[in-house]
């Protein structure tokens, strides 16, 4: 496992076995680690219009989480 950067936090997500297998195969086809695939999906989700509206409405980007 690659060492994490100091500016990163770990999260744990549980998915069913079939979903996990599909994600692993997708990462393999894209020739990238599963972590990178998941980070990209999270970034895309956060950038979506619906999430941006929620973030803006609640000023979530102004809050520093530790």
Mind giving me the DSSP string for 15-46? --HHHHHHHHHHHHHTTS-HHHHHHHHHHHHH
Q: Which domain holds residue 43?
A: 24-62
User: Rounded to two decimals, what is the model's pTM?
Assistant: 0.78
Q: Which residue has the tokens 């069913």?
A: 16
Residue-wise pLDDT for 3-58, tens only, equals 578 889 999 999 999 999 999 999 999 999 999 999 999 999 999 999 999 999 99
Q: Is residue 58 in some structural domain?
A: yes
Q: Is residue 2 in some structural domain?
A: no
Q: How many domains does the chain have?
A: 1
Q: Is residue 36 in some structural domain?
A: yes
Q: Is residue 19 in some structural domain?
A: no
Q: Is residue 29 in some structural domain?
A: yes
């Amino acid at each position: 496992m690659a060492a994490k950067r100091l500016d990163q936090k770990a999260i744990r997500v549980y998915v069913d076995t079939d979903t996990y297998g599909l994600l692993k195969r997708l990462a393999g086809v894209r020739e990238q680690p599963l972590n990178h695939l998941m980070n990209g999906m999270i970034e895309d989700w956060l950038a979506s219009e619906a999430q941006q509206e929620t973030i803006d409405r609640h000023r979530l980007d102004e809050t520093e989480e530790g």
